[in-house]
Structure 1
Amino acid sequence: MPLLDVENLTIDIPTEAGLLHAVNGISFTLERGETLAIVGESGSGKSLTSLALMDLLPSRAVRRADTMRFDGIDLMAAGEREKENLRGDRMAMIFQEPMTSLNPAYTIGDQLAEALRRHRRVDRRAARERAVHLLERVGITAAASRLGQYPHQLSGGLRQRVMIAMALMCEPDLIVADEPTTALDVTIQAQILKLLRDLQQEFGMALILVTHDLGVVARVATKVAVMYAGRFVEAGPVEAVFGAPSHPYTQGLLRSIPVPGRTRPGEPLGTIPGQVPNLVGTLTGCMFRNRCDHAAGRCAEEVPDRTILPGHRMACILEPTLAGGRPQ
């Protein structure tokens, strides 16, 4: 049985213009120790998917799923107390911007200790020792002295490390990381990604990484789901999806990033014309068809998922690319 099993997840948000279909029927599974990266443009539904798993969606959002099960626990049927007991304990989240996620009125030590004392019922001394240990483990020097500091006294990289330490306080089975390196410079990004990978191997956690950086995916993930307009248009092992991308959107994303040793200095990168479509109202057919060079009349009809190879699937009428490799 997988650690996390999600089938046909949808998220709808009422707006003045009509019903916004933010996420439209996505499905995936995640085993212990695996890393699933969810990639795509801004507005594709990546962050809402991660919030739906933790049941932290905006109050107006409506979450539905045929199955959303974590280690045998039905998350759709679980009561508030059961979900509160899971969050911060067996399921933890690293948010995109730590400065808005950490409470400016409380010290780092108080915020680190809160989850452990809530879920493990330990005393202040034990919580402090655990906090110091994890701050050291995530690469923060003089960890004990940091406990009395406030978030504004730390750099962006240190705040992100504090968020990672906070997520690890109860040794969760699953961590959901929503763009954990967006606000950091390139050097710190590399350090944070290596840290997440090392900690995952050490603790045996499953990791969901929400990102728009395909380079991050190649270095960290075991599986990738390419998301567009609320739907997974292609998903599978990273080697399969990046080695033989089959959906036109995946191909367009890969063409838009430089390839070491192949992309010459000054050479223009690929682009995807147009914009992400409006997801308000009735949605029909492939949502990428207005930006796709291969669009045909039947793209306006429902496009089912197709299996390319075991574990690798896409939602497109085109024949899959099994041997072509990365698009030129």
Structure 2
Amino acid sequence: MSAPDIVLDVEGLTVDLPVAAGTLHAVRGISFQIARGETLCLVGESGCGKSMTAFSIMDLLPPRAVRKASRLVLDGEDLIGAGPQRWNALRGDRMAMIFQEPMTALNPAYMIGDQLTEHHRLHKGSSAAEARERAVFLLDKVGIANAGQRLTQYPHQLSGGLRQRVMIAMALMCGPDLLVADEPTTALDVTIQAQILRLLLDLQQELGIALLLITHDLGVVARMAHRVAVMYAGEIVETGTSDEVFGAPKHPYTHGLMECIPVPGRTLPGDRLGSIPGVVPSLVGDISGCVFRTRCAMADAACAGEVPWRSQGAHGWSCLKVAA
């Protein structure tokens, strides 16, 4: 990809948090790029650092968290040294986020219209009428009927699916270059989940947005991703196109995730699904070697040492036992 195509370029991103037992290394040296019009899915178990990665990109980390990176570039602009004022100008304008829980992400004390139009007026300097027109347009775009009337309603008057659509419309109000969606369908039933994912995909393709989609659902990844980054214990252990990662997974952790999924036509009623033994290791204190080795059937003493990054073209993985 040429430089103008890259919307987000992240290299060597780490996030550390002080805890009672020492330092928690929540995100450990991850790197990725997202191009305009591309969907990168960040996938892994709960607690692997996916949401912390999203918050670090948006500069929404807890006050005591320490973020470091070799590169953090949004559409050509270096953000490593950006101050709070610059981040406030970027968030909601050139970069936006759909949060995990629509039931709590909207303020129950304010009408939908006020919450939709506030940051458009702030970032774009629009009038109340212009911001309202934009809000009605986007509510209609995300499939909400009677959009003008919805602006006068409060969040508790909307279903979970409608609230999530409002969250998507809110994220798109200023036409961002980068959209971060953190588990955007977690609280929704299966039918509404499919509608929201289809909506996100259609809007992303239509508007040419770079989309970072964070999920633990491999079914969502298969439907949405151009490229996939598999995350485990704070680091990316495998990355590649959706076809590469699903068709020929390399890392033992990715294999384990795939074996946990029932396969239509092959998995019969009553069949036992695969599982990954053991538990995720502590990320507090010093960490060395392959962090998956305590749960991996292929591991031996050598896995406690340096772990190489291997690759075949754009398909890469971190494993001593799986050669390129």
Q: Give the aligned partner of residue 101 of structure 2.
A: 97
Identity %: 65
Matched residue of 1:60: which SS?
Answer: coil
Matched residue of 2:148: which SS?
Answer: helix
Q: Give the aligned partner of residue 185 of structure 1.
A: 189
**What pairs with 1:245-284 in structure 2 (closer than 5 Å)?**
245-284=249-288
Moved more, 96-105 or 12-21: 96-105
Q: Please say if 1:16 is aligned against 2:3.
A: no
Q: Give the aligned partner of residue 310 of structure 1.
A: 313
1:319 Cα deviation after fit: 2.4
AA in 1 matched with 2:314: G
1:201 Cα deviation after fit: 0.9
Q: Give the aligned partner of residue 223 of structure 2.
A: 219
Compute the TM-score of the two structures, normalised by the length of structure 1: 0.96
The one of 216, 231, 239 equivalent to 2:243 is: 239
Q: Please say if 1:160 is aligned against 2:164.
A: yes
Q: Give the aligned partner of residue 62 of structure 1.
A: 66
Q: List structure 1 runs of 4+ shifted beyond 6 angstroms.
A: none
1:302 Cα deviation after fit: 2.1
Q: Please say if 1:28 is aligned against 2:32.
A: yes
The one of 150, 153, 166 equivalent to 2:154 is: 150
Q: Give the aligned partner of residue 37 of structure 1.
A: 41
Q: Distance in 2 between matches of 1:118 and 1:239?
A: 42
Q: Distance in 2 between matches of 1:121 and 1:318?
A: 56
Q: Distance in 1 between matches of 2:278 and 2:69?
A: 31
The one of 10, 23, 32 equivalent to 1:6 is: 10
Q: Give the aligned partner of residue 322 of structure 2.
A: 319
Q: Give the aligned partner of residue 325 of structure 1.
A: none
AA in 2 matched with 1:313: G
The one of 201, 204, 222 equivalent to 1:200 is: 204
Moved more, 185-194 or 265-274: 265-274
1:115 Cα deviation after fit: 1.4
Q: Distance in 2 between matches of 1:175 and 1:304?
A: 32
Matched residue of 2:96: which SS?
Answer: strand
AA in 1 matched with 2:315: H
1:74 Cα deviation after fit: 1.0
Moved more, 192-201 or 261-270: 261-270
Q: How many residues align?
A: 320
Deviation per residue, 1:271-303 (Å, 9 max, x gap)? 001111111011011110000000011111121
Deviation per residue, 1:143-195 (Å, 9 max, x gap)? 11110111111111111000000000011111000000000000000000000
Q: Distance in 2 between matches of 1:206 and 1:72?
A: 14
Q: Give the aligned partner of residue 53 of structure 2.
A: 49
Matched residue of 2:40: which SS?
Answer: strand
Q: Distance in 2 between matches of 1:122 and 1:255?
A: 52
Q: Distance in 2 between matches of 1:259 and 1:117?
A: 49
Structure 2 stretches of 5 or more lacking a match? none
1:75 Cα deviation after fit: 1.2
Q: Give the aligned partner of residue 86 of structure 1.
A: 90
Q: Distance in 2 between matches of 1:220 and 1:52?
A: 23
Compute the TM-score of the two structures, normalised by the length of structure 2: 0.97
The one of 282, 300, 303 equivalent to 1:296 is: 300
Does the 8 A contact of 2:251 with 2:322 survive in 1? no
Q: Give the aligned partner of residue 112 of structure 1.
A: 116
Deviation per residue, 1:106-147 (Å, 9 max, x gap)? 110000001110111111111111111111110111111110
Does the 8 A contact of 2:240 with 2:314 survive in 1? yes
Matched residue of 1:3: which SS?
Answer: strand
1:260 Cα deviation after fit: 1.4
Aligned-residue Cα RMSD (Å) equals 0.9
Deviation per residue, 1:38-92 (Å, 9 max, x gap)? 0000110000000100000111110000111111111111122221111101100
